[in-house]
Amino acid sequence: MKTSIKSVLLTGAVALGANALMAAQASQPSNNWVDQLYKAKLGRNSPAEEARQKAERANTAFREEATVEAAGPANPWLEQFYQAKLGRNSPMEESRLRTEGAKTAFREETIREARPANSWFEQWYKAKFGRSGPK
């Protein structure tokens, strides 16, 4: 009888310890090995981790970007004339663009697409096969 009571108490202690370990892992989802395995196997976060990140993003305050209405040139005909005749903007338009660029809070980066300097191969390929060349 003493043996069965000791075995029941030992089994209860082991079960209680296992539950405590599982609860400790559940409270720290970033260190959870299941999330790491899911990310390594499928290349994205587990649904539980995605839900946690979504809730975190919903509770985070972001600074709203101010939308500035870009006022165009006062005389578009004059701007077109300057552009056609001199190949650049008029001095008024250049100063307007310069002041507008100084007022903006964020720098706008332009993404340049890598294109070959000579496109004769692309033109030949399109003429021969009727579609764009291999990329």
Q: Which tens digits make up the pLDDT trace of 2-37?
A: 778 888 888 998 888 888 777 665 555 556 788 888
> Rounded to two decimals, what is the model's pTM?
0.28
pLDDT digits (tens, 9 = 90+) for 69-116: 556 666 788 888 888 888 888 888 888 888 887 877 665 566 666 665
Q: What angle do CA 72, 73, 75 make, to 5 degrees?
A: 135
The structure tokens listed for 59 are: 């509770």
**What pLDDT, in 10s, does the model give residues 104-123?**
766 556 666 666 566 777 88
Q: What is the pLDDT of residue 117?
A: 61
3-state secondary structure of 102: helix
Query: What span, in angstroms and rounded, lies between the C-alpha atoms of 15 and 54?
Result: 34
Contact partners, residue 97, CB within 8 Å, separation at least 6: 89
